[in-house]
Amino acid sequence: MSDNREKILEQIKVQGDLVRKLKAAKEPKEKIDVEVAKLLALKAKVTEDDSEATGGGQKLLLKTPKGTRDYNPQQMALRQGVLDKIVTVFKKHGAESIDTPVFERKDVLTGKYGEDSKLIYDLKDQGGEILSLRYDLTVPLARYLAMSKISSIKRYHIAKVYRRDNPAMTRGRYREFYQCDFDIAGTFDCMIPDAECVKVVSEILSGLDIGDYVIKLNHRMLLDGMFEACGVPADKFRSICSAVDKLDKSPWAEVKREMMFEKGLEETTADQIGEYVQLSGGLDLVEKLQNDPKLSAVKSAVSGLEQMKKLLKYCEILGLRNEIRFDLSLARGLDYYTGVIYEAVLTAMPEITNGGDVEPVTIGSVAGGGRYDNLVGMFDPRGKQVPCVGVSIGVERIFSLLEAKQAAEGIRMRTTDVEVFVASAHKGLHEQRLKVITELWDGGIKAEHSYKENPKLLGQLQHCEEQGIPFALILGNSELEKGVVKLREVTSRKEVEISRENIAEELSRRLSLLRNGDF
């Protein structure tokens, strides 16, 4: 790469950052357009230089799209382990799995996400259908329930979703990422399924051993009642809710400025909201707010507090006390929430050791969700409602944390489940290897062998050690003449002779002992 090209790429980076800052600050369109034009000119210059360098041909740029990544076998082994633990909890609570298309009709997704609707990926018109990539798994679930006329289900769904957001790869924020959702749909008594969703989140986070956490709880009816008591006009409830939702990332002073100068709220009203959103606690806070004269005069606030009291009581019965906190700053910006809302965050950010230095790991919230009683009715021709409540586990952020810890600690995971490697000690035994490995496969044993006819024995044994394969079955001419083969325990390098007959049964027995820790 030439020095001139490096300079232009650096200028593109600086100019790109400037354009994003202008957009985030909602500067005038004319001002943004001027800077965008400069950015495009710089990019065109790079394209022109590349074209000249390749004699006019287009140079293939090998990279993943912005906000996406590849996963190597080590990373996939880690991810699968995390997903297996999550699915185990989902199934323990009686959930069944469904799947939905990765893209939906655009009108299915439109109007469900508030200010975040601008992050939806739209697809090119293909044959008359206007489609978009799914933004989450909740709206597709609601569409599925209405379309299939299902009024009761407890389901889990693990799949990729897409958001045209500004990615932060080191913090586990991507444009393509997995969601792990658990939802309970149906008409049930107040707060019983809601409390179970909190329990599900707690069991998953505790099982993954990622550090201390707290599950913040609030209620949309209480938030709306609080806004009404503070004097927020009804048509601004959702936009003010979106502003409050930023308190986990921005200080109150910035959120207050947004309320006043972007949302048009009076300063006295914003100050009153500020007094409430700084409160957090448990049942004691519920009782305090129930005695608040302003909130007591608003019906939705009274109802929200009654439901929160019941939820906190049920959570305590389920063994959740230190893990939960009633927090009035929790808002969750999505428009479809109607009742209780949740968000799980790590209370003490984990630290990793990197070359002797201790570094904090910052990843934000790791789970969230809530009740959405009106979403299914938006899709039903008769407006029939199916009350729903659910949670989503932020697995990408959890993956990022665990990957960082593994890399810092030099931990290497097994990437295959192979239990036995069939090796040959002499030339011309590849057909014997094929016979033996066929018996093992037919016996349900996970096994592999070399794809060379005459591999070196040392190389085969080194492969076993590198891949963490527990046993090597070594075929030799003299042993086969005696009707035996050598079985080598790879870690201890101990070898014993076992009968060639019924070899699959003998290995199954030894593998069973190994799994039970009796070998």
pLDDT tens-digit map of 127-184: 788 999 999 999 999 999 999 999 999 999 999 999 998 887 767 788 999 999 999 9
Give the mean model confidence (pLDDT) for residues 174-200: 96
> Same domain, yes or no, for 108 and 227?
no
Cβ atoms of 100 and 148 closer than 8 Å: no
Last residue of some domain: 355, 383, 413?
413
- What is the rounded average pLDDT for all residues in the chain? 89
CATH classification at residue 326: 3.30.930.10
pLDDT tens-digit map of 238-256: 888 888 888 877 888 898 8
Residues in the chain: 519
Residue 356 has pLDDT above 80, yes or no: no
Q: Which three-class secondary structure state does DSSP give residue 350?
A: coil
Residue 141: closest CA among 391, 330, 398: 391
Last residue of some domain: 383, 413, 443?
413
Angle, alpha carbons 168-172-175 (nearest 5°): 65
Who's near 326: CB < 8 A, 6+ residues apart?
Answer: 216, 217, 218, 280, 281, 282, 283, 285, 286, 308, 312
Residue 2: pLDDT band by 50, 70, 90 thresholds?
Answer: low
Who's near 312: CB < 8 A, 6+ residues apart?
Answer: 217, 282, 283, 286, 324, 326
Between residues 312 and 513, the one the model is more confident about:
312
Q: What are phi and psi of 396, to 5 degrees?
A: -60, -40
Output DSSP code: residue 117. G
Q: What is the pLDDT of residue 57?
A: 57
Q: What is the 3-state secondary structure (H, E, C) of 438-465?
A: HHHHHCCCCEEECCCCCCCHHHHHHHHH
**Strands of 128-175, DSSP E:** 131-133, 153-162
Name the least confident of 52-61, 152-161, 223-232, 379-388.
52-61
CATH classification at residue 438: 3.40.50.800
Output DSSP code: residue 497. E
Token pair 């986990």 is found at 248
The reply to whether 41 falls in a domain is yes
Residue 469: closest CA among 503, 516, 422, 512: 422
Q: How many Å apart are CA 183 and CA 193, to the nearest integer?
A: 9
Give the mean model confidence (pLDDT) for residues 284-296: 94
pLDDT tens-digit map of 413-454: 899 999 999 999 999 999 999 999 999 999 999 999 999 999
Q: What is the pLDDT of residue 348?
A: 66
Q: Which two tokens stand for residue 149?
A: 């006329």
Output DSSP code: residue 122. B
The reply to whether 308 falls in a domain is yes
Q: How many Å apart are CA 291 and CA 322, to the nearest integer?
A: 25
Name the least confident of 92-101, 145-154, 360-369.
360-369
Strands 357-360 and 153-162: unpaired
> Same domain, yes or no, for 43 and 108?
no
The reply to whether 58 falls in a domain is no
What total of structural domains would you count in the chain? 4
pLDDT tens-digit map of 10-37: 888 888 888 888 887 878 877 888 888 8
DSSP 196-246: HHHHHHHHHHHHHT---EEEEEEEHHHHHHHHHHHT--GGGHHHHHHHHGG
Whole-structure pTM value: 0.81
Q: What is the pLDDT of residue 477?
A: 95
Share of the chain above pLDDT 70, in %: 93
The reply to whether 499 falls in a domain is yes
Give the mean model confidence (pLDDT) for residues 208-226: 91
Full domain range(s) for residue 507: 420-516
Give the mean model confidence (pLDDT) for residues 384-390: 95
pLDDT tens-digit map of 46-88: 766 665 555 555 678 888 999 999 999 999 999 999 999 999 9
Output DSSP code: residue 249. T
Q: Which two tokens stand for residue 405?
A: 């810890």
